[in-house]
Amino acid sequence: MRPETIKKLCCPFDKADLTLTEITKDLDENVLEGFFVCNSCKRLYPIIKSIPIMSPDEYREFKLEQPLLERWSKELKGQSFENFRLVSAEGGTV
């Protein structure tokens, strides 16, 4: 995913800004793997092979995204993932 494209994206649900966490990049600085978090609703959108997964909740499957989140636990900094949203260790939305 090219940096120019990243700047144009917003949350498809509430149009809020997204915060990007980069996991891996290629030599041209394109994001290969990472995730966006909506600053308003706290939905998490993974980036897999440079493609952001920004489908409506009803079309996403947690069991397919769970292995990625386990692998990214360091970047999630103790937060968990429920109903496609980040929640703090205490259980409230981040």
Q: Where are the beta strands (DSSP E) in the chain?
A: 18-25, 31-38, 44-48, 51-52, 80-82, 85-87
pLDDT band (50, 70, 90) for residue 89 = low
Q: Which residues contact 44 (CB under 8 A, 6 or more apart)?
A: 35, 36, 37, 69, 81, 84, 85, 86
Whether the pLDDT of residue 88 is over 80: the answer is no
What is the reported pTM? 0.85
Q: Is the pLDDT of residue 92 over 70?
A: no
Q: Please choose, from the candidates 67, 37, 66, 42, the residue with its C-alpha nearest in 3D space to the C-alpha of residue 52.
A: 37
pLDDT at site 55: 92
Domain boundaries, the chain: 3-87
Choose between 94 and 51: higher pLDDT.
51
Write phi, then psi, for 44 (nearest 5 degrees).
-110, 130
pLDDT band for position 78 (cuts 50, 70, 90):
confident
